[in-house]
C-alpha cells in the first residue's frame, strides 16, 4: 500500500481533524484492515481496533461485537455496496468518515486485478450527508480538500483546484 505515493497531505489533514474532535482516551473502531493511517493513530496514543478482512457488506458482526466509542471509515465507504447497513450497525455515537469525492473529469476507479480495490460508489458530498442523516447522525464539522499530483496535464491541473476528499465528523441524534 502506497508503494509509489504516500498521501502525506491527506494523512496530515485527517489527523488534525481527528485530534480536533476525538479525545485520545476514546476507543476507535476503524473500518478496514490495519493500514498506515491506523498505525499513525496508534502512534498518537489512540486505541484502534480494525476489521480483519471480512466482507463487511455481508458480515457486520464486528460492528456489533466490539466495544468502541468512535467509529472511523477513511476511504472505505466508496468500496462498499451498502454503507447504509454499515452505519445502521455502528454502536458508537461519534463517527469520522472520509471519502474521495466524485471527479467529473474522471471515471469510477476499478482495479482489474484486485476485487477489493474497486469503487462501487463515487460520492458527492451531499450523498454522504444524506446517508448520515438517514442513519440518525448529525454532521458537526466537515472539510473538503484537494489532492494535487506532481504531473503535467489538464487533469493534474484540475486536481490542484478541485476538492478531492470530503471529511466529516458526525454525532448520533439522541
Closest by CA to 41, choosing from 58, 52, 28, 51, is: 28
Residue 46 CA: distances (Å) to CA of 22, 37, 118: 9, 11, 29
Strand 165-172 and strand 137-145: the pairing is antiparallel
CA atoms within 13 A of residue 157's CA, in its CB half-sphere: 3
* Joined grid coordinates for residue 69: 466509542
More confident residue, 101 or 2: 101
Q: What is the DSSP secondary-structure string of 38-80? A: HHHHHHTT-EEEE--S--TTT--HHHHHS--SEEEEES-GGG-
Question: Does pLDDT of 5 surpass 70?
Answer: no
In the chain, the largest separation of any two C-alpha atoms, in whole Å, equals 49
* Joined grid coordinates for residue 163: 476538492
pLDDT of 117: 56
pLDDT of 124: 86
- Choice among 2-6, 13-17, 135-139 with the minimum mean pLDDT: 2-6
pLDDT of 44: 97
Q: What is the pLDDT of residues 44-94, one digit of tens each?
A: 999 999 999 898 888 999 999 999 999 999 988 987 888 999 999 999 999
pLDDT of 79: 78
Q: What is the pLDDT of residues 106-164, one digit of tens each?
A: 555 555 555 555 445 678 899 999 999 999 999 999 999 987 777 787 766 777 778 88
pLDDT of 115: 57
How many Cβ atoms sit within 10 Å of the Cβ of residue 127? 17
Residue bearing cell 496530515: 12
Amino acid at each position: 500500500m502506497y508503494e509509489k505515493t504516500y498521501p502525506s497531505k491527506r494523512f496530515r489533514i485527517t489527523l488534525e481533524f481527528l485530534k480536533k474532535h476525538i479525545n485520545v482516551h476514546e476507543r476507535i473502531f476503524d473500518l478496514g484492515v490495519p493500514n498506515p493511517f491506523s498505525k499513525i493513530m496508534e502512534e498518537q496514543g489512540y486505541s484502534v481496533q480494525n476489521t480483519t478482512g471480512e466482507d463487511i457488506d455481508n458480515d457486520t458482526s464486528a460492528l456489533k461485537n466490539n466495544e468502541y466509542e468512535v467509529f472511523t471509515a477513511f476511504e472505505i465507504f466508496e468500496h462498499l455496496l451498502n454503507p447504509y447497513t454499515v452505519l445502521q450497525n455502528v454502536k458508537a455515537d461519534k463517527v469520522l468518515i472520509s471519502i474521495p469525492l466524485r471527479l467529473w473529469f474522471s471515471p469510477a476507479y476499478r482495479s482489474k486485478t484486485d476485487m477489493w480495490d474497486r469503487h462501487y460508489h463515487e460520492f458527492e458530498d451531499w450523498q454522504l450527508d444524506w446517508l448520515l442523516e438517514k442513519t440518525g447522525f448529525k454532521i458537526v464539522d466537515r472539510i473538503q480538500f484537494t489532492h494535487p499530483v506532481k504531473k503535467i496535464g489538464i487533469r493534474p491541473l484540475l486536481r490542484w483546484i478541485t476538492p478531492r476528499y470530503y471529511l466529516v465528523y458526525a454525532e448520533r441524534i439522541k
